[in-house]
Amino acid sequence: MNYLRIEVGLFLLLSTVFAAQIPPSGKTLVPTLPRPKGSFAVGRIGYDWTDRSRREVLSKDVDAKRELMVYVWYPVDKGKRGKSAPYLPGASSINKLSDRALSGADGKLWPAILSGQIASHAVEDAPPAENPAQFPVLVFSHGLGSPVFHYTIFIEELVSHGYVVASIQHTYEVNVVAFPDGRTVALSPLSWSIYGPQPPEISEEEGSKKAIAWEKERDNVWAADISFALDQLTMLDRDRGSVFFGKLDLAHVGALGHSIGGRAVGRACQLDRRIKACVNEDGAPDDGAVFNYPGAASPTQPFLLEEAFVAPPTDKELAEAHESRRHFNESIAEQDAAIEKQLRRCQDGGYRVTLKAPGLDHDSFTDVPFMESTHDPKAEAAALHSLSLAVDVTLAFFDQYLRGKDHRLLNRARESRSEITVRHYSPGGD
């Protein structure tokens, strides 16, 4: 069975726009994002950074350099007033595109996003909270096609608990990136074609190999984006004119990513020792918790693989895929063994956490299920519950490895709640 193709199908679902269903009244309900529960309010600043050392290979301009929009979300003292940050910065520029479907900006909620009716809880350009003196830093990498703003609820919750989160828009591999000067860059047709339907002369196996080779190449680019963002954050922390002067605890840096972004984080953790803790959210490839690269060792930092539970396929589904139950079970066993082997190489061992709740799936790490369920209170509550499980596990992991706080959620062989299963692989042992 072609597991990569199945996963990519899920990734591409994330690139679709929030499309709220219209209730019987004929009016689209406008969702209100839940307020973060932590002790801090949230600030946000966007930065347009260009890495002059790298050429942008997906640009038609042969002289183009790698340019990124990075949005830094950070803790703010509660009660600070200021302008609320829009849910989607640059919406007015995106609105001018002739094909907003490609940009991911179409759908019934688009008028509410464009008008600012749907807003984040972040305050633009607010001063960081005064206490503590410094905050640990997380670098976030999105899934293919999905803007970082599809993760607003998740990010704001992390920030409200005392983390600075630098979220990268990986140019040409997000539906659209809007730059401050009004320029927009859409998803690269080249990247899209790699994952999309292949010509009939290319077999499924050949298409899968092609996609894996391409993704490994792009993982290196995204990993370099993560390291470049850390370089820029270090400069901000040392710049007396920066709002972040002296506020970033760069001795305690984590990286997290969802879907393909989780795989990129695994690659970044192989290459950049400044990253002290790593989280892959539902992005495990077939050969382990991270892709295997020739000559590259597995990450040794504390590593968390966080997964949505997937029920085994039915006999009918296997038959439609021309797959035997025996071969399927053997493939799963091989993947599990590869994941375990990699996680045992991590400092203090690695964690594999499975989340299981009604409706919880690959999208549940994003705002998408919540946005799509605002017409249905039960579905909305279920979406927020699923998202809270992912946030709880992620916070527990980073609190343990970046703040030195042991968390009982991670230190049981099996967490008491049936919705969360925790497996801890000690180095060289059980």
CATH 3.30.470.10 fits 3-425, yes or no: no
Q: What is the pLDDT of residue 349?
A: 81
* Top-ranked range on mean pLDDT: pick from 109-118, 348-357, 382-391: 382-391
pLDDT over 70 (residue 105):
no
The arithmetic mean of pLDDT across residues 51-56, rounded, is: 97
Q: What is the pLDDT of residue 204?
A: 75
Taking residue 41's Cβ as centre, other Cβ atoms within 10 Å add up to 24
State the pLDDT confidence band at 143, using cuts at 50, 70 and 90: very high
The arithmetic mean of pLDDT across residues 23-52, rounded, is: 85
Q: What is the pLDDT of residue 364?
A: 96
> Which among 143, 193, 107, 101 is positioned nearest to 10, based on CA atoms?
143
Residues in contact with 123: Cβ distance below 8 Å, sequence separation at least 6, in sequence order: 41, 42, 43, 44, 76, 80, 81, 82, 83, 84, 85
**Among 16-20, 107-111, 268-272, which is the least confidently predicted range?**
16-20
Measured over the CA atoms of residue 91, residue 219, residue 345 and residue 273, the dihedral's sign is: negative
Q: Is 100 helix (H, G, I), strand (E, B) or coil?
A: helix
Query: Mean pLDDT for the chain?
Result: 87
Stretch (H or E) spanning 119 = strand 119-124
- DSSP symbols for 221-284: HHHHHHHHHHHHHHHHHH-TTSTTTTTEEEEEEEEEEETHHHHHHHHHHHH-TTEEEEEEES--
pLDDT over 90 (residue 374):
no
How do residues 382-416 score in pLDDT, each as one tens digit?
999 999 999 999 999 999 999 999 878 887 645 45
Evaluate whether 303 touches 347 at the Cβ level (below 8 Å). no
Q: What is the pLDDT of residue 98?
A: 61
Which of residues 219 and 208 earns the better pLDDT score?
A: 219
Distance (Å, rounded) from C-alpha 352 to C-alpha 422?
6
The arithmetic mean of pLDDT across residues 336-364, rounded, is: 92
Residues in contact with 307: Cβ distance below 8 Å, sequence separation at least 6, in sequence order: 282, 284, 352, 353, 354, 355
Q: What is the pLDDT of residue 106?
A: 44
How do residues 146-182 score in pLDDT, each as one tens digit?
999 999 999 999 999 999 999 999 999 998 999 999 9
pTM listed for this prediction: 0.91
Give the tokens for residue 426. Answer: 């000690």
State the pLDDT confidence band at 4, using cuts at 50, 70 and 90: very low
> Which among 304, 299, 287 is positioned nearest to 216, based on CA atoms?
287
Q: What is the pLDDT of residue 412?
A: 63
pLDDT over 60 (residue 287):
yes
**Among 80-89, 215-224, 241-250, which is the least confidently predicted range?**
80-89
pLDDT over 50 (residue 316):
yes
pLDDT over 60 (residue 326):
yes
The arithmetic mean of pLDDT across residues 284-310, rounded, is: 88
Q: What is the pLDDT of residue 100?
A: 56
State the pLDDT confidence band at 286, using cuts at 50, 70 and 90: confident
How do residues 212-225 score in pLDDT, each as one tens digit?
888 889 999 999 99
pLDDT over 50 (residue 208):
yes
Q: What is the pLDDT of residue 178?
A: 95
Radius of gyration (Cα) for the chain, nearest Å?
21
For the chain, give every domain's residue range. 3-425
